[in-house]
Chain A
Amino acid sequence: MGWFKKSKKNAVQSDAKPELWSVCPACKAHIYKEEWEANIKVCPECAFNDKLSYKERLQLLIDEGSFKELNKEIKPTDHLKFVDAKGPYSEKANAAITKTGMNESIITGTGNINNIPVVIAVMDFRFLGGSLGSGTGDKILRAAEYALKHKRPYIIVSASGGARMHEGIVSLMQMAKTCAGIAKLNKAKIPYISILTHPTTGGVSASFAMVGDINIAEPGTMIGFAGRRVIEETIKQKLPDDFQTAEYLLKHGFIDKIVKRNEMKNFLSNVLQYTTAK
């Protein structure tokens, strides 16, 4: 079976036309683009859940036509006037804006999930690796305050490599800032549901993403604080294959449930029946 699969993949690879095929980032299987999209980017071979853009995510979770964006104008700020080997951060940020059509690594707004009004924030990994910039943190906090004011459940879909180094300490402080927003919701008994998608690591996993009333992950999602390579170098041993996967975190008690992508919306509305029970 392994041999057969391999040879089939290789055959495809040799004359693959990129416009016809999608390649699974996990198992490298070549899937017809049409099938790939119809399957909402879940690999039919290995069940890996590939990253979604914020538009695809909203389409998946929010009732059609109900989404209204909040604080769209918020953009990255170059607090440090940061320049690295590849040039100024401000240029990098502008390039990300042009590439994605987003102003920051997160979209926030209001919408309905099977007719239940919510406030939702969706991170998009395409924007500087979904990193937590000050604009990102500010949007998360402002959306939390909106949820508080209008007494709506708050849902954050995370996808992030962690803090944004180019904003230095200001980025680190967004961890405290976003958690302060969640703390306010907790005090006011406003539901907060965290959905962790591939990948959710570093400063995002160590802040708002991990303190949901309910933490949900997609199958195979990588979730962790320190990077795998850093840990292997520290402890001088190889880590198990399932280390830092959603399944590993479920086993260790840090997420409530792994939910398949096509079942996520209905799962959320089922949960929200309890959190907003009268």
Chain B
Amino acid sequence: MALNFEQPLSDLTKRIDELTKLNEDPKVNFNSEIAALKKEAQTMRGNLYSKLSAWDTVQVARHPDRPLIRNYIKDMFSDFIELHGDRCFGDDHGIIGGFATLGGKRLMLIGHQKGNSLESNIASNFGMASPEGYRKALRLMKLAEKYNLPVVCLIDTPGAYPGMEAEARGQAEAIAKNLTEMATLEVPIIVVVTGEGGSGGALGIGVGDAVLMLANSVYSVISPEGCASILWRDGKKAPEAAEALKITADSLLELGIVDKIIPEPTGGAHYDHSATMKEVKKAILKQLEKFNKISTRKLIEKRFNKYAEIGKFRKG
């Protein structure tokens, strides 16, 4: 799937495909033309991705081919044992989790689950968790605390599910409780925003000792569309709202919300899963090593100070 801003690239790729097909005929030889076009495509890809607007980045962050938690589980983590249910009401599919191993390190993995097809998206409610999802996540975090396992949270959600049942079962309470409990959880929490960081639904599993972001992911208090329809009274002003809200990794690093940006391959994470995962793995392992050395008391104190500093009032 080509995004709007990728259109010239898509045209070029189509041309490469056509020539490659023609080239199958032994009577012709387009090898040099194909090589030249491929080179041109790579340069174009680099150019396009070096100057993405905030709104372009939103499209990349939401790209259906972007690695999803199931891809990370299959190709980056190993020995995953999924754990189900919140022990209260049910098992949510918008957030999944369980024991996982990364580079020999055992940990508790929790993350939003988006799908990449209509069917899988319906099954996981498009990555929008219900209260059960947040309560399951907290249960697994408490389990991690008991077994002294670090927690890794992968964030990729449009937001918490805005449904009647979700409200009746306490969406607000479930998120609020997680924010409160995560503040003092006695094991390291490493958060990685891999795609879309949608407001409270993201933050509900997003309080951590280190918050990392893939270069083309976004994190926002409200979707650009939602913000545009409220503050611009026009949902079509989403590109303006995206810019104003400062939701890209660069801006968030500057604002002190994010600790590290994980680079993505040229062309975005969807263009090369394995290169992306190599970087994500390296980044997580580095953080795990760093926080493994810190005493529990210091860990919680540092985490508290990190959040106390965000938006701390300064005169002048």
B307 and A168 contacting across the interface, CB-CB below 8 Å: no
Which residues of the other chain, B, contact A187 by a CB distance below 8 angstroms? Answer: 184
Give the distance in Å from the alpha carbon of A132 to the alpha carbon of B172 in the complex: 15
Cβ distance A75 to chain B, nearest Cβ, rounded Å: 7
Complex: chain B residue closest to A229, CB-CB: B162
Q: Which residues of A contact B183 (CB under 8 A)?
A: 176, 179-180, 183-184
Interface string of A159-196 (1 = CB under 8 A from B): 00001011111111111110110111011000000000
Provided the pairs A224-B167, A226-B167 are in contact, do residues A170 and B313 lie with their beta carbons within 8 angstroms? no
Write the nearest CB–CB distance from B309 to chain A, whole angstroms.
Answer: 9
Residue of A133, A176, A234, A253 touching B207 (CB-CB under 8 A): A176
Q: Mark A221-250, 1 if CB is under 8 A from B, else 0.
A: 001111100110011010100011000100
Contact of B311 among A137, A165, A207 (CB under 8 A): A137
Smallest CB–CB gap between B236 and chain A, Å?
A: 12
Inter-chain contacts of B310 with A (CB < 8 A): 134, 170, 173-174, 176-177
> Are A226 and B245 interface neighbours, CB within 8 A?
no
A138 and B232 contacting across the interface, CB-CB below 8 Å:
no
Which chain A residues border B164 with CB–CB below 8 Å? Answer: 231, 235, 237, 239, 243
Cross-chain contact of A173 among B241, B244, B311 (Cβ < 8 A): B311
Task: Give chain A interface residues in 208-226, CB to chain B under 8 Å.
Answer: 208-211, 223-226
Whether a CB of chain B sits under 8 angstroms from the CB of A263 is no
The number of residues on chain B lying at the interface, defined by a beta carbon within 8 Å of a beta carbon of chain A, is: 57
Residues from 224 to 258 in B contacting A, C-beta threshold 8 Å: 227, 230-234, 237, 241, 244-247, 252, 255, 257
Q: Spot the interface stretch: A21-29, A41-49, A82-90.
A: A82-90
| B307 contacts across to A, CB distance below 8 A | 173, 176-177, 180
Whether A172 lies near B244 (C-beta < 8 A) is: no
Q: Which residue of B lies closest to A204 (CB)?
A: B172
Q: Please report the C-alpha to C-alpha distance between residue A83 and residue B304 in the assembled complex, in whole angstroms.
A: 31
A183 & B315 in contact (Cβ 8 Å cutoff): no
Also in contact, A169 and B181, with CB within 8 A (given A86-B231, A134-B310, A175-B200): no
B104 at interface (Cβ–Cβ under 8 A)? Answer: no
Q: Are B222 and A176 in contact (CB under 8 A)?
A: no
A202 and B183 alpha carbons, distance in the complex (Å): 20
Interface centre among B166, B180, B204 (most CB of A within 10 A): B180
A243–B199 Cα distance when bound, in Å, is 23
In the docked arrangement, what's the CA distance between A163 and B278, Å?
Answer: 36
B285-316 CB mask vs A (1 if < 8 Å, else 0) is: 00000000000000000011001101111110
Cβ of A97 within 8 Å of any chain B Cβ, yes or no, is no
Which of A134, A210, A230 meets B176, CB within 8 Å?
A210
Query: How many angstroms from the CA of A171 to the CA of B219 in the assembled complex?
Result: 12
Q: Mark out the residues of chain A between 48 and 97 whose CB falls within 8 Å of any chain B CB in the assembled complex.
A: 71, 73-75, 77, 79-80, 82-86
A268 CB, min distance to chain B CBs, angstroms: 21
Whether B308 lies near A177 (C-beta < 8 A) is: yes
Shortest Cβ gap from A176 to chain B (Å): 5
Find the residue from A84, A174, A186, A244 having the highest chain B CB count within 10 A: A84
B26 interface residue per 8 A CB criterion: no
Q: What is the 8 Å Cβ interface bit string for chain B, positions 171-189, against chain A (1 contact, 0 not)?
A: 1110111011111100000
CB of B118 within 8 A of chain A?
no
Chain B residues contacting A180 (CB-CB under 8 Å) are 179-180, 183-184, 207, 303-304, 307-308
Q: Which residue of B lies closest to A103 (CB)?
A: B313
10 nearest CB pairs, A to B:
A134-B311, A226-B162, A179-B179, A180-B183, A205-B172, A183-B183, A225-B172, A84-B231, A210-B176, A172-B221
- Name 17 interchain pairs, CB-CB below 8 A, sorted by A: A79-B311, A134-B311, A135-B311, A165-B227, A169-B247, A173-B311, A180-B179, A180-B180, A182-B180, A183-B183, A203-B221, A209-B172, A209-B176, A211-B180, A225-B166, A239-B164, A254-B170
Chain B residues within 8 Å of A, Cβ to Cβ: 160-164, 166-173, 175-177, 179-184, 199-200, 203-204, 206-207, 219-222, 227, 230-234, 237, 241, 244-247, 252, 255, 257, 303-304, 307-308, 310-315
